[in-house]
Amino acid sequence: MKRISILSISLIILLILIFVLFRPKQEIVSVSLVSETKEITYTDTESIQIFEDAIRTVKKVHGAVDVGPPTYRMTVTYADSEVVEFILYMDFKTKNGFLINDSNSEKMLDLKDQNSEKLADLLSKVKRETVKK
């Protein structure tokens, strides 16, 4: 009887491990940003990859957050039609940024330096193009 219990528990743990390690990655199909002055939607592969990398590698910051108005409100739409709302704060001078998930607005998600820089560069292009018009 002990042998069957141990075997059953081992099988369940193995199945959970396989599911966690090999579950399909959620694919982003679009990212929409809204600020006080503009709205832009990204659907191109290169831009989507920058957003995916930034979201996938955030570092959770412990403690509650109290911040001012966001740089952008961000809507991420996944291939399975799931929609996740974020608030994006970006300092274009230092190229540092962080996200706050709308569903948990007290937890800050710090963008890793490299991803934050790429995202700031991408968003700076939009800022420059808007100024030229």
pLDDT in tens, the chain (133 residues): 678 888 888 889 888 877 766 666 678 999 999 998 889 999 999 999 999 999 988 998 877 667 788 999 999 999 988 999 999 999 999 999 999 988 877 778 999 999 999 999 999 886 545 444 4
Please give the model's pTM, rounded to 2 decimal places: 0.73
3 state DSSP class of 98: strand
- What's the CATH fold of domain 25-132? Immunoglobulin-like (2.60.40)
Domain residues of the chain, as ranges? Answer: 25-132
* Sequence-ordered list of residues with C-beta below 8 angstroms from that of 67, at least 6 positions apart, any chain: 89, 100, 108
3-state SS of the chain: helix, strand, coil percent to 5?
A: 40, 30, 30
Interatomic CA distance for residues 51 and 28, integer angstroms: 9
